[in-house]
Structure 1
Amino acid sequence: MSKQEFRKFLLASTACVLLAACSDTSISSPGGNNVGTPPGGGGGGGGTGNVVIDLVPAGGCGTGSIRETSVTHGTTTINACEITGNITSNTTIAANAGVIVTGPVFVGLDDGATAQKPNGEAAGGTPVTLTINPGATLFGAAGSDYIVVTRGSRIEAVGTADSPIVMTSRSDIEGTVGANEIGLWGGLVINGRAPINACIDGTAVGGSADCVKSGEGSSGLFGGDNPADDSGTLRYLQVRFAGFKVNNEDELNGIAFQGVGSGTEVDYVQVHNNADDGVEMFGGAVDLRHLVLTGNSDDSMDYTDGWRGRAQYVLVRQSADGDQGFEFDNRSSNNTLLPRSNPRISNFTLVGQRGGTGSNDSDQGMLIRAGTAGELYNGIVVDFGDNCLDIDDTETFNRIGATGASGDEDLVMQSVALDCVVNFSETAGDPVDVSDWFLGQANNAEIDNTMSDVFPGPIELAVATTDVNALDPWFEPTTYIGAFSGSENAASNWAAGWTYNLFADPGCPTGTTESAEVINNQRICQITGNVTADLHLTRGSVYELVGPVFVGVDRGPDAASPAPSGIEVELTIDPGVTVFGSAGSDYIVIARGSSIRSNGTRTAPVVLTARSDVEGTVGATEIGLWGGLVINGRAPINACIDGTATGGTADCQKSGEGSSGLFGGADPTDDSGNIFYTQVRYAGFKVNNEDELNGIAFQAVGSGTEVDYVQVHNNADDGVEMFGGAVDLRHLVLTGNSDDSMDYTDGWVGRAQYVIIQQSDDGDQAFEFDNRSSNNTLLPRSNPRISNFTLIGRRNGAGSNDSDEGMLIRAGTAGEFYNGIVVDFGNACLNVDDAETFDRIGATGAAGDEDLIIQSTVLDCLTNFKETAGDPVDLSTWFLGQADNAEITNSMSGFTFIPGSTGVVPGATELAVNTTDVNALDSWFEPVTYIGAVEDSNDTWYQGWTFQVTP
């Protein structure tokens, strides 16, 4: 079995099935791949022969305090990496490695409650960083096997949606874990220096550096006085089958956040089948997003000791024998301790099992007690067998509604819906009637729920929401209660694909066909021919284009009078989905009237690429391995196949390159959908000497189409090309493209802001801008507005040809170009060609005679200007005569795209250039006070979602 097959095998929790059929089997280490949405399972296993599971990657285990080892349990031998004892040097676990956690593993030695002693000396511990790469699987065999990150040290466990990091039990690796087993190993503990209120020194003041506490399971000290303390990153992480019970009072949580500060990033984390709480915050101020808590035996989410963090998007699916979904305390031994617990939580869905009986505290949705404050918004609590809401303790009740005094924050609950066997736990003598209090707050309701599993139904969707983003911009704006929106379902939601045992495998979506082939044990769903019904590409599979795929059938140039034979179709692509082609004849065309919704995110971009890229065999400089993406719209163009048609009218249409169909119309605001956080790699097949597919061809695409955070990498023709239309573009990254990176013609009048171009060694122009080369005077005239661009060449051009130029502006185009940096092109930074272009420079008044403007732009190339004898305008004089332009010696530095290339971060020379306030000219543009696409080293909009962009 391949490494990739084992990884899929583990994440789909079907290992037991496969192993049961094995005899004297060798299984290789896991590989990175799309985990899909595994169906769950588990159960007994065991074969009659010996099984060897090899989890050591081909490149080794990593660096630092990690080693190779081998363990045998019964008839199963595991060859793996191992961490054990005290880790006292920076350690990196390789991607896809299998790692045995042996005994308590302490990351670093406690570095104290503050980073510095009063005299400035180091606190005396050993702070280190444990880095865990995507796809790694860490596992323990007993409750004494757990990981503790000490104060001052960091854990950087950064998985991906396709390759989450897994922390689990050895029996899970062996395939013998039962579906309901818990407490098979310890878990993860993180100790930080953020304030707590429970001090082991009774004389210490809560929230001070002297207020520290000893963690559960002998996990060491935590606490300090820095609420912004940073213990690292947890992203796309699963913790499974943990929570060993040390004694009746001391039990390890799935993840214990002990005095952890808000500088720590926690996003996309699941804890499954933990013996104690799923996650528990012991004081501190850590923030949490996209939290999934399933099958935990005690409470799913718990806090105490003065936690003052935030959480958004929390899903709890409580186990049949679990206690509370939420158990929230200030401090049970002293309810009045300060700093008081006072978190803010929004968009939570708590689903019980309706299995509780009687009036005890088990099987409750929310137990709020021990003097805590807090704000809870936009929640759904259903199906708990005892009650949905219980508020206990005099100090908690006494503080409800109290304001003004130090520590007397309110308990607030708004836009929350309840439906349990009993909604409220109320006791005679309570100073507040819980039901009256709950229903007296804004938008709360008792309902008969219409939930579909964990997704809201019409009753939940009708509940008015609270705008928590207006209270705190950390929270993302939402218009729904609960963890999921009304448009999400089991196949398409933020938790799908990277979680364990949460949703059933959706299979190939309707409109696709499952292939008999697999790549790296990933299911392939094929798309072919004309797509004539809405198609939704969900996580869990990769998608293969077989030949030209036409989305919809051309509806004609006029939406008010569509072609009767046309068919309007919407193609939706979920975050993290990969679509590939195997040849130049494999490409996507969005027909007029149809739309694409490419809904990538920063952490899970959509990837459109080549087969060899998916297989892992693509070369770094390969191009033209498949077709690309073509979008046909109804916006105006000036190049009409009917010579009698007038440009810009519905009669002016054109046939697209690569037999991609007709485009053009008379609606500049035409809407072809959206493209967000999307990469197009290795495309641009050459059909013939004149006809070559671009990475993305925007053919008469209108301004109603949204394009933001898009990269085209290693395209054989242009990266993006606009053929007329009025589409606007933001956050555009164009790297390694073989012809021009950004090209337009046929009367494009759109806008663009934040454009980074790293030209390839053999590329032509970064910008190649035309009106129409066959007739420079056609109307409507190309006249875009572009601001904040950084164009980086390779200084490898030679001679006087047009290759390797920064900006080639020609064929009668107008345009406004502001706040630009153009450096390191081997031929020229700027070339303006053709009499019609020159004739129109500075001309105003006549129809179509818009100006060509370049302002606040700097040049530093082998030759800055390409000038030809007889040009009606001296280009250098014209350029330097416009506002704030300059020839410079560039001081670019900082982050790079391709190793060895020029940085994209402006230096002192660039920062000294006056900017043009383009926002004052057009409010579509965001206000800026800098030239170029990147403000400074803290401006990292181009990182994280792009391909081959390395800091």
Structure 2
Amino acid sequence: MKTVKHLLTMLLLLSGLAAVIVACKKNPDEPTPVIKPTPKTTIASVDPATAPVGSTIAITGTNFSTDPGSNTITIGGVTATVVSATDTRLVVVVPAGATSGPVSVTAGGQTAQAPGTFTVSLPAVKPVKEVSGTTFANLNWKKDTIYLLRGLVYIPANYTLTIEAGTIIKGAGPERDPTSTNHAGALIIEKRGKLIAQGTATQPIVFTSAKAVGQRNYGDWGGLVLIGKAPVNQLGTTLYPNGIRGTVETYGEPLDNSGTLQYVRIEYAGAVQPTTPVTRLSGLSLYGVGSGTVIDHIQVSYSGSDGFSWFGGSANLKNLFSYRSFDDDWSVDWGYVGNVQFGVALRDPDVADQSGSNGFEVENFTPTETADVTAVVLVNGLTQNAPVFANVSNFAFNTTPTANNTAKGTGGYQSGIYLRRNSAISIYNSIVYGYPVGLTLDGSGAGLTSGTIDLKGVVVANVLTPVVGVGGISADQATAYFTVAGRSNQIVQTSDMASLLLNGANFSLTAPNFLPQVLSPLLGSGTTGGKLTNSFFTQVAYRGAFGSDNWTSGWINIDPQNKDYDR
């Protein structure tokens, strides 16, 4: 009986197994399912395998995203920008900071690495074109060439020099003057000549030293000079200073146009010129330049003389940066009557000129005058400097300032603002920080009582002596003028410096940042009205050169010593 039951159990198991086999048997009419493999991101090639920063390369492979932003590409560990994308080809830009190394692509959640190593190469050395003397032709200078100024280079009347964005111009020293007169290289735009130098924030035009990396210094070459036909308060027979040819003549064209300068850097200018007495050009010198000229976003660095100089004229300028100049930052003479807004000066406290360095140095008439003189109407019709400066920041010492500087055997510091010789300047909403003297008023005092000198919304901070009177102006008169309530000027004692809430990197010589902290009293406390209603001025509420907009971003260079300009 047991044997029969066992046989019945086996039959049942075999029947079930047969049913399963029949059930699993494929229907011959059904298609065979296709199992697709998971798409794989791969890199087949990188072309070219060697290229400089800023150039484009093509990466071929599989499974790339057609949306450029959905691909992540690194070159030597640095993320690159994708210019265009298909599922098999990516075009990318070799990023700044990239080093030789692997190329990788991340797309669709997968990462692939190219075979071999990509090499970041140096760009080719640019050819150099030497320029000297006077060229009676319209010129176009291109960024693929370096231009070397030898001696005094003149763009004469009726001709225009146009400089492409990104172009490098180098100034040679006096030993390379082809005329053997020992003039350092300089570019001079004469009356009725024009300079069109329109750089951009990403491609500024640079005037710099001809010396190699690590060998550059103050005063390696001459500087940039513009000469116009706007009035000056000098006789027409007056020779141009600093070895420049010609006389001022007697023009009266305040709307004169000498061209356009935008996003331009001027480095290591201010060489000693072979004149009697010895003189030096500034980084940027403007002689009788008219208001038809456009000038903004200019940096002067390591000038061996002044940063910016105005000799008469009526030019209007914005967004100026005087960085580590040797002498004064803003030098005004010969009856300048234009407008300036947004200027910052950052000094190296260990370097100053033996003549004494100031932030502003404003004077009139001739250097032989030692005090105020009787106002005279010269043939050009102007009697005084009467410019308007607004939103200017002058930064010297972060610590207690010293009058005499011996750290590098140079000179000493004087005043943040030095006004003399009948100057009729207006300065609004500006800062002077870290000078031995904040404001020096030198003269008869007529400008104070008549109102031709107008200082409002000015902050004097971290100074040994806030206000000084010289000549016919007593210290009490000067102080009373500056501190009268209606002028909204302010003296901040050294013990209260922190209350200004300046940026922590404000005085950094390696990475300065001038934007005040958000609760700084400098923001929202500026004066308004008066001469600031001129249409040239941007209406802002703050004191100093900066509110929340860092207009130096992207185009300045605070380490020109180590910049390779040859490529």
Deviation at 1:921, TM superposition (A): 2.5
For 1:398, the equivalent position in structure 2 comes to none
Contact residue 64 and residue 71 of structure 2 kept, 8 A: no
Structure 1 residues 911 and 252, CA, compared in 2 at 3 Å: closer, same or farther? closer
For 2:346, the equivalent position in structure 1 comes to 758
The match for 1:730 among 318, 322, 325 is: 318
For 2:243, the equivalent position in structure 1 comes to 658
> Aligned letter for 1:771?
N
For residues 136-192 of structure 1, what are the alpha-carbon distances to aligned partners after superposition, in whole Å with 9 as ceiling and x for unaligned? xxxxxx7168xxxxxxxxxxxxxxxxxxxxxx53x53399xxxxxxxxxxxxxxxxx
Deviation at 1:866, TM superposition (A): 2.5
The match for 1:522 among 110, 122, 126 is: 126
> For residues 841 and 753 of structure 1, what CA distance do their matches in structure 2 show?
23
> Aligned letter for 1:883?
R
The match for 2:540 among 925, 928, 944 is: 928
For 1:711, the equivalent position in structure 2 comes to 299
TM-score, normalised to structure 1's length? 0.43
SS at match of 2:127: strand
> For residues 220 and 505 of structure 2, what CA distance do their matches in structure 1 show?
29
SS at match of 2:340: strand
Structure 1 residues 855 and 902, CA, compared in 2 at 3 Å: closer, same or farther? farther
For 1:634, the equivalent position in structure 2 comes to 229
| Structure 2 residue 415 is matched with structure 1 residue 812 | no
For residues 687-706 of structure 1, what are the alpha-carbon distances to aligned partners after superposition, in whole Å with 9 as ceiling and x for unaligned? 25542111111001000001
For 2:362, the equivalent position in structure 1 comes to 769
Deviation at 1:729, TM superposition (A): 0.7
> For residues 473 and 166 of structure 2, what CA distance do their matches in structure 1 show?
51
Contact residue 636 and residue 700 of structure 1 kept, 8 A: yes
Contact residue 57 and residue 91 of structure 2 kept, 8 A: no
The unaligned stretches of length 5 or more in structure 1 are 1-102, 105-141, 146-167, 176-235, 261-267, 281-518, 553-566, 643-652, 845-850
SS at match of 2:222: coil
Contact residue 897 and residue 949 of structure 1 kept, 8 A: no
For 2:215, the equivalent position in structure 1 comes to 618
> Aligned letter for 1:782?
N
| Structure 2 residue 467 is matched with structure 1 residue 865 | yes
Deviation at 1:657, TM superposition (A): 2.1
> For residues 126 and 154 of structure 2, what CA distance do their matches in structure 1 show?
25
Structure 1 residues 259 and 252, CA, compared in 2 at 3 Å: closer, same or farther? closer
Alignment of 1:505-544 (within 5 A): 521-544=125-148
For 1:257, the equivalent position in structure 2 comes to 69
> For residues 228 and 153 of structure 2, what CA distance do their matches in structure 1 show?
17
> For residues 917 and 829 of structure 1, what CA distance do their matches in structure 2 show?
24
For 2:455, the equivalent position in structure 1 comes to 854
> For residues 550 and 545 of structure 2, what CA distance do their matches in structure 1 show?
10
Alignment of 1:668-707 (within 5 A): 668-687=254-273, 688=275, 689-707=277-295
> Aligned letter for 1:927?
Q
Contact residue 364 and residue 422 of structure 2 kept, 8 A: yes
For residues 321-366 of structure 1, what are the alpha-carbon distances to aligned partners after superposition, in whole Å with 9 as ceiling and x for unaligned? xxxxxxxxxxxxxxxxxxxxxxxxxxxxxxxxxxxxxxxxxxxxxx
Structure 1 residues 569 and 914, CA, compared in 2 at 3 Å: closer, same or farther? closer
For 1:143, the equivalent position in structure 2 comes to 43
The match for 2:206 among 586, 603, 607 is: 607
SS at match of 2:343: strand
For residues 61-88 of structure 1, what are the alpha-carbon distances to aligned partners after superposition, in whole Å with 9 as ceiling and x for unaligned? xxxxxxxxxxxxxxxxxxxxxxxxxxxx
Deviation at 1:931, TM superposition (A): 0.5
Deviation at 1:541, TM superposition (A): 1.6
Deviation at 1:655, TM superposition (A): 2.1
Contact residue 636 and residue 725 of structure 1 kept, 8 A: yes
Alignment of 1:533-612 (within 5 A): 533-552=137-156, 567-584=157-174, 585-612=184-211
SS at match of 1:658: coil
Alignment of 1:3-82 (within 5 A): none
> For residues 704 and 912 of structure 1, what CA distance do their matches in structure 2 show?
32
The match for 2:443 among 834, 847, 867 is: 834
> For residues 544 and 51 of structure 2, what CA distance do their matches in structure 1 show?
54
Percentage of pairs with the same residue: 23
Structure 1 residues 698 and 796, CA, compared in 2 at 3 Å: closer, same or farther? same
Please give the root-mean-square deviation of Cα atoms over the aligned residues, in Å.
3.3
Structure 1 residues 900 and 909, CA, compared in 2 at 3 Å: closer, same or farther? farther
For 1:241, the equivalent position in structure 2 comes to 58
For 1:906, the equivalent position in structure 2 comes to 516
Contact residue 898 and residue 949 of structure 1 kept, 8 A: no
Deviation at 1:821, TM superposition (A): 1.0
Contact residue 607 and residue 679 of structure 1 kept, 8 A: yes
For 1:945, the equivalent position in structure 2 comes to 555
Structure 1 residues 869 and 745, CA, compared in 2 at 3 Å: closer, same or farther? closer
> Aligned letter for 1:541?
T
For 2:107, the equivalent position in structure 1 comes to none
Contact residue 790 and residue 904 of structure 1 kept, 8 A: no
For residues 717-762 of structure 1, what are the alpha-carbon distances to aligned partners after superposition, in whole Å with 9 as ceiling and x for unaligned? 1111110000111000001111111101000000000010112333
Contact residue 237 and residue 270 of structure 1 kept, 8 A: no
Contact residue 234 and residue 248 of structure 2 kept, 8 A: no
Structure 1 residues 759 and 920, CA, compared in 2 at 3 Å: closer, same or farther? closer
> Aligned letter for 2:149?
L
Structure 1 residues 915 and 757, CA, compared in 2 at 3 Å: closer, same or farther? same
TM-score, normalised to structure 2's length? 0.71
Deviation at 1:912, TM superposition (A): 6.4
For 2:491, the equivalent position in structure 1 comes to 887
Deviation at 1:841, TM superposition (A): 1.7
For 1:413, the equivalent position in structure 2 comes to none
For 2:75, the equivalent position in structure 1 comes to none
> Aligned letter for 1:791?
N
SS at match of 1:525: strand
Deviation at 1:948, TM superposition (A): 0.6
> For residues 50 and 71 of structure 2, what CA distance do their matches in structure 1 show?
32
> For residues 524 and 270 of structure 1, what CA distance do their matches in structure 2 show?
33
Deviation at 1:893, TM superposition (A): 1.7
Say which one has the larger Rg. 2
Contact residue 820 and residue 931 of structure 1 kept, 8 A: yes
For residues 850-896 of structure 1, what are the alpha-carbon distances to aligned partners after superposition, in whole Å with 9 as ceiling and x for unaligned? x1000011111222123458625621111011421111133222444
Deviation at 1:905, TM superposition (A): 2.8
Structure 1 residues 947 and 666, CA, compared in 2 at 3 Å: closer, same or farther? same
Deviation at 1:616, TM superposition (A): 1.5
> For residues 412 and 213 of structure 2, what CA distance do their matches in structure 1 show?
35
The match for 1:782 among 365, 385, 402 is: 385
The unaligned stretches of length 5 or more in structure 2 are 1-39, 73-79, 93-122, 175-183, 406-410, 561-567
Deviation at 1:770, TM superposition (A): 1.1
Q: Tell me: higher relative CO, structure 1 or 2? Use CA pairs within 8 A at least 6 residues apart.
A: 2
SS at match of 1:864: strand
> For residues 749 and 718 of structure 1, what CA distance do their matches in structure 2 show?
19
SS at match of 2:170: strand
Structure 1 residues 713 and 787, CA, compared in 2 at 3 Å: closer, same or farther? same
> For residues 454 and 545 of structure 2, what CA distance do their matches in structure 1 show?
18
Aligned residues: 440
> Aligned letter for 1:884?
S
SS at match of 1:598: strand
Contact residue 592 and residue 663 of structure 1 kept, 8 A: no
- Identify the range of structure 1 (789-798 vs 712-721) with the bigger mean alpha-carbon deviation: 789-798
Alignment of 1:424-435 (within 5 A): none
